[in-house]
Amino acid sequence: MEILPDSRCKNATGVVQINGVNHVPIFCMNCGTPGGLVTERGINFVGWMCDSCQEKYPLPPGTYALPDDEHNRKVAEELAKVGPLNLNRIAELLKDDRSTLARLARDNPIFGSN
């Protein structure tokens, strides 16, 4: 069994509070490039690799990758489908765990959580 390094720091610095929830920064498990934020609570493991390292190194068996550009394209497509948005509408869409937008948000290293 291969054990992957966690992309969070052991001693979290740079914690950001968003809507009353603490978010910790994550970094590429290979080169240390900053990769955004994940919620502090409810997360047991975060393994993230930047696009540059994903191009250079193979992913471990049993894992998958969605490059940032591809992820952003899918988000843009989904946002175009749902039409005009305001903060209330976005919150409503993200609450529905079955919505594509909610799944994409969970897959994003900045907003996602396990």
- At 19-72, the pLDDT tens digits run 888 899 999 999 999 988 888 887 788 888 888 888 888 877 777 676 667 777
- Other beta carbons within 10 angstroms of residue 49's beta carbon come to 23
Token reading at 24: 């910790």
What pLDDT score does 34 carry? Answer: 92
What pLDDT score does 108 carry? Answer: 61
Residues 6 or more apart whose CB falls under 8 angstroms from that of 90 comprise: none
pTM for this predicted structure: 0.57
